[in-house]
């Protein structure tokens, strides 16, 4: 069955040089095939579009200088899906003045609050709960990331991309209005102690739907590189179908004879591909590496990076999940030693082995050895029908209540140390952002 998705046709695109700044923007976006212009007035440069015309879609976007978010960039512009322009007072109303009781979470971009919208606010707007993300004005490159989200989520529609409903651009305020995802992030389900266990079949479903979202981004004539694939950016709907969120770091990929895009290194430690961190060379295979890390998190229930406490601050270690798991991924007998204890052995042995093998391929040090996202989707879908389930793994887990949730037995601690991976990490995350 074909997936419902929308990608602008290449023939509909045209390119215009557009100064991008934090200056005033029109109160409504418009259909740019009718009116496009540049405002170079004293108030600040920006898009000047006829607000009476309808909707805008910006298809190709790239700032010339990532260190200068107000610099001149190039945009390819075509017809666009409707995005609603909301006033700040309207969004204050639907979130009860951004009440703490409606707070869903906070991140680098700012705070996210729950609200509710309907056709009374805008004709044709379906009654639905929404998530309202408010820019932290003092945040690093906040306006730039806000603009990137409007550009990418404003142009693409796909069942595995979070739907952007509208935005607010008023004075210094920058807000985004998304569909509400009732299950929250994958991060919360895997790593929060109070969360219920994600069954194996649900983990596989999350992996497949996430892979489909990334494959869609990579599938165009000029791919979109997501650049920040991680568990906290994977949101789940009521049926645990995954959708990609937070496109603030997304970037258009290489085109023509180009092999990569050179860019400032940004993203999250533990998820970023090594060649990207070392050289700043970005390709679709950078996303594939990050997806491999997510697969390891689904298998183990551990974060991409964790701290190992020491007797002193100097003795603390930071363990990368990719390195920690590598000695255990080659055989199913060793793999079961690092499977998420919360699964209690209830998972497909063949499925886990195949997913582990795929994770090894995705996190290969050599980008050319990593599979495409389309191939990954195909490989994961073949695991859905597997019914073989492992037996309880209690033998391999410590029974002492004081032991860490995923702590291994003394035998495997020694074995791991001998493999050069250090000690077993406890539950302290170390997934700081790159900059």
Q: Within 10 A of 404 (CB to CB), how many other CB atoms are there?
A: 13
d(CA 161, CA 112): 18
Decide if 228 is catalytic.
yes
CA end-to-end span of the chain, whole Å? 41
d(CA 132, CA 178): 6
d(CA 414, CA 412): 5
Is 230 annotated in some ligand binding site? no
- For 11-57, the three-class secondary structure string (H helix, E strand, C coil) is HHCEEEEEECCCCCCCCCCCCCCCCCCEECCCCCCEECCCCCCCCCE
The β-bridge partners of 296 are none
- For 338-353, the three-class secondary structure string (H helix, E strand, C coil) is CCCHHHCCCCCHHHHH
Catalytic residue among 187, 228, 287, 340, which? 228
> Which two structure tokens, joined as six digits, stand for 359?
């994770």
Q: Which of 178, 128, 129 is nearest to 153 (CA)?
A: 178
Token pair 């040089």: residue: 17
d(CA 52, CA 30): 7
Query: What separation in angstroms does the CA of 110 have from each of 31, 133, 136, 294, 316?
Result: 29, 7, 5, 24, 30
d(CA 194, CA 184): 14
Pairing state between β 103-106 and 110-117: antiparallel
Do residues 176 and 164 lie in contact, with contact meaning Cβ atoms separated by under 8 Å? yes
d(CA 251, CA 173): 24
d(CA 376, CA 290): 13
Positions of E strands within 64-199: 72-78, 84-85, 103-106, 110-117, 128-135, 157-158, 164-170, 173-179
Binding-site residues for ATP, in ranges, read 133
* Catalytic residue list: 228
């Amino acid at each position: 069955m074909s997936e419902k998705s929308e990608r602008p046709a290449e023939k509909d695109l045209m390119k215009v040089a557009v100064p991008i700044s934090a200056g005033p923007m029109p109160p409504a976006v418009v259909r740019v095939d009718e009116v496009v212009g540049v405002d170079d007035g004293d108030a600040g440069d920006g898009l000047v579009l006829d607000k009476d015309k309808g909707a805008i879609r910006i298809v190709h976007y790239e700032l010339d200088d990532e260190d200068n978010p107000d610099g001149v960039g190039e945009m390819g512009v075509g017809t666009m899906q409707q995005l609603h322009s909301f006033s700040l007072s309207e969004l204050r109303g639907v979130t009860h003045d951004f009440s703490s009781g409606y707070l869903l979470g906070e991140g680098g971009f700012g705070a996210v609050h729950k609200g509710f919208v309907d056709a009374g606010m805008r004709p044709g707007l379906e009654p639905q709960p929404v998530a309202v993300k408010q820019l932290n004005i003092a945040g690093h490159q906040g306006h730039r990331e806000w603009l990137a989200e409007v550009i990418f989520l404003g142009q693409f529609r796909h069942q595995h991309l979070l739907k952007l409903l509208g935005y607010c651009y008023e004075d210094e305020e920058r807000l985004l209005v998304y569909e509400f995802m009732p299950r929250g992030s994958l991060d919360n389900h895997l790593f929060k102690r109070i969360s219920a266990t994600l069954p194996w079949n649900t983990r596989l479903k999350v992996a497949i739907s996430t892979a489909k979202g990334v494959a869609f981004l990579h599938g165009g004539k000029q791919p979109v590189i997501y650049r920040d694939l991680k568990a906290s950016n994977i949101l789940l709907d009521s049926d645990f179908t995954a959708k990609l969120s937070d496109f603030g770091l997304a970037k258009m990929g290489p085109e023509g004879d180009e092999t990569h895009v050179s860019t400032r290194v940004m993203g999250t430690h533990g998820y970023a591909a090594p060649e990207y961190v070392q050289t700043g060379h970005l390709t679709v295979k950078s996303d594939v590496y990050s997806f491999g890390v997510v697969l390891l998190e689904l298998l183990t229930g551990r974060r991409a990076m964790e701290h190992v406490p020491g007797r002193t601050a100097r003795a603390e270690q930071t363990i990368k999940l990719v390195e920690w798991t590598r000695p255990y991924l080659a055989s199913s007998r060793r793999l079961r030693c690092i499977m998420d204890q919360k699964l209690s052995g209830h998972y497909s042995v063949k499925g886990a082995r195949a997913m582990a093998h795929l994770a090894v391929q995705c996190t290969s040090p050599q980008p050319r050895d990593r599979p495409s996202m389309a191939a990954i989707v195909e490989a994961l879908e073949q695991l859905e029908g597997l019914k073989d389930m492992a037996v309880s793994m209690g033998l391999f887990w410590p029974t002492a209540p004081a032991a860490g949730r995923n702590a291994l037995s003394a035998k495997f601690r020694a074995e791991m140390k001998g493999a050069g991976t250090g000690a077993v990490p406890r539950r302290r995350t170390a997934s700081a952002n790159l900059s």
